[in-house]
Structure 1
Amino acid sequence: MNILIVEDEPNYADTLEMFVDELGYHITGLAEEGQKALKLFRENAPDLVLLDINIEGEMSGIDLARIFQAERPTPVIFITSYDDKETFNKAKETVPCDYLIKPFDPDQLERSMELATVRAYAPSPDEDVFEDNRHVVLGKDFFFVKERNKLVKLMIADILWVSVEDKYCILHAEGKKFVIRQSLKELAEKLNPQEFVQTHRSHIVNIKKVEDIDLAQYTIAIAGEEIPLGKSYKENLLYRLQTL
């Protein structure tokens, strides 16, 4: 998950940077004033912004949050020394995911970051929220998969195929595997049917990644691996490949 940090106090900036790094997230930029923060936001498209209110320059953190939400709605967590009601009410107008008072508690910030991601990218209020250490939230073009204490961003286009083991789905990407507690049917409903097709009762493949099909052995080759092809799924797969 890509994080933008906007903080002009060196001690807090270093602390946030260290904390985010320890969680395993990627810091797309660190800014101490508004213009630099805006430039980093536009260039790097962060998934989440940790934003101080009182920063250097003409723009405040609240001003920045308004611009961010107008250009590309992005979850924002305010981290500030201001605990007065007037500042809070102004900040609230930008609809932040949280408003934390310095000195912040690392555990509280970690929970706020996780909840901010769920609220921002879950498709509906009924979407399951990380019931265990292996679950998923779907954004428009990507998944956020929870692994241990961090959220890992996986672009849907990078999924090669999906397989099933017991009650879990395994998302296979180049050199990586992501395990989520979800049925193949539930996952299939979240994938674009123009890009993904079921080829076996326990497999879904990204049809753009198919390298070859062995019609004698009923297997599909993707990234040097053989995926089973069920006889009842063959005709649909061939038809879909012809329509690409």
Structure 2
Amino acid sequence: MEEKIKILIVEDEMIIAANISLQLTHLGYEVIGIIPRAEEVLPLIRAQQPDILLLDINLKGDLDGIDLAHLIQKEFKIPTIFLTANSDETHFNRAKAVNPYAFISKPFKKLDLQRAIELTVLRIEEENTKKENGVSEENFVLSDAIFVRSHDKMVKVNIQDILYIEAERNYCKIHCKDKEHLLVATLKDLEEKLLVNNLMRIHRSFIINLFHIDEIANSHVVIAKKAIPISADLKKQLLQHIQKI
């Protein structure tokens, strides 16, 4: 039986905290506690260390979430996701200093929470793999397939099955017909490794599979009902590329 990811919630608005806990439980994670005050966090972590810390920046009291994250990092290396209703530049720059794995802005949707946790888990798994065997991600991109980490195994995704690849900050989401995969890599890095004629970058956030294009419009292409933007210059390159394959 696969061990559940343990998550600690530090949030002083208990209705929000309870809602987050319920959502995480439904998603299959284990919530090991809900703590409203910064001063109570370190004793609990020393007794039971979580895999992920979900931490509100705007905690009431002498310490806010960023101060608390600094204190925790002196003793532990726990991946942290910040929750915040205040996204001003000052808070953001202070928060960046503790290298959080993600930010979730309040109010947020269930999907925002789900994606932030999934991306954090994926990054943890990739980091652990590299520590254990020093495997480079370059080994996982082949001429006809990409190997994508899914929990404790590598899943082969055939290039021909890829509809399009979408950038999500330092991650890529690989869209196939029946499934999506997350890959720890920037779109630029992936573009350099995927030397395949039928894959082409047509936007700063998208690489598409030319074989799966359904429509080519003035400012976008359509793949599996998804409209993907394209500039006039790149549209010209796209049409030339299609004629060659």
Taking structure 2 as the reference length, the TM-score comes to 0.51
Residue 33 of structure 1 corresponds to which residue in structure 2?
37
Match of 1:112 in 2: 116
The CA deviation string for residues 169-211 of structure 1, in whole angstroms up to 9 with x for no partner, is: xxxxxxxxxxxxxxxxxxxxxxxxxxxxxxxxxxxxxxxxxxx
- CA change 1:87–1:30 in 2 (3 A) is same
Equivalents in 2 of 1:96, 1:47: separation in Å?
14
| Distance (whole Å) between structure 2 residues aligned to residue 84 and residue 38 of structure 1 | 27
How much does 1:23 deviate? 1.0
The 3 A distance-change label for structure 1 pair 137 and 80 is: farther
CA-CA distance at 1:137 after TM superposition: 6.8
Q: 1:48 to 1:72 in 2, by over 3 A?
A: same
1:5-44 aligned at under 5 Å gives the runs: 5-44=9-48
2:64 maps to: 60
3-state SS, counterpart of residue 19 of structure 1 = helix
Cα deviation, residue 130, structure 1: 8.5
1:136 is aligned with what amino acid?
D
The whole-number CA distance in structure 1 between the counterparts of 2:31 and 2:42 is 15
Q: Which residues in structure 2 correspond to 1:49-198 (within 5 Å)?
A: 49-122=53-126, 123-124=129-130, 126=137, 131=148, 135-136=151-152
SS at match of 2:34: strand
Q: Cα distance, 1:14 vs. partner?
A: 1.2
Distance 1:20 1:44 in 2: 18
- Structure 1 residue 121, shift from structure 2 partner: 3.7
CA distance in 2, matches of 1:57, 1:30: 16
- Quick one: percent identity of the two aligned structures? 36
1:152 maps to which residue?
none
User: Cα deviations across residues 24-55 of structure 1 (Å, max 9, x unaligned)?
Assistant: 21111110011112222221100001100111
- Runs of at least 5 residues in structure 2 that lack an aligned partner in the other structure: 131-135, 141-145, 155-245
How far off its partner does 1:116 sit?
A: 1.0
Q: Does structure 1 retain, via aligned residues, the 8 Å contact 2:9–2:53? A: yes
Structure 2 CA distance, aligned partners of 1:55 and 1:130? 41
Q: Secondary structure at 1:79's aligned position in 2?
A: strand
After TM superposition, where is structure 1 displaced by more than 6 Å over at least 4 residues in a row?
A: 127-130
Cα offset for 1:91? Answer: 0.3
Matches of 1:94 and 1:130, distance apart in 2: 31
Task: Give the number of aligned pairs.
Answer: 137
Q: Distance in 1 between matches of 2:109 and 2:147?
A: 21
Report the alpha carbon displacement of residue 106 of structure 1 after superposing the two structures with TM.
1.3
Q: Is the 8 A contact 1:75 1:117 kept in 2?
A: no
SS in 2 for 1:74: coil
Which residue of 2 is the match for residue 2 of structure 1? 6
Q: Is this contact kept in 2: 1:121–1:137, CA < 8 A?
A: no
Q: Tell me the TM-score normalized by structure 1.
A: 0.52
Unaligned runs of 5+ in 1: 139-244
| Alignment correspondent of 2:50 | 46
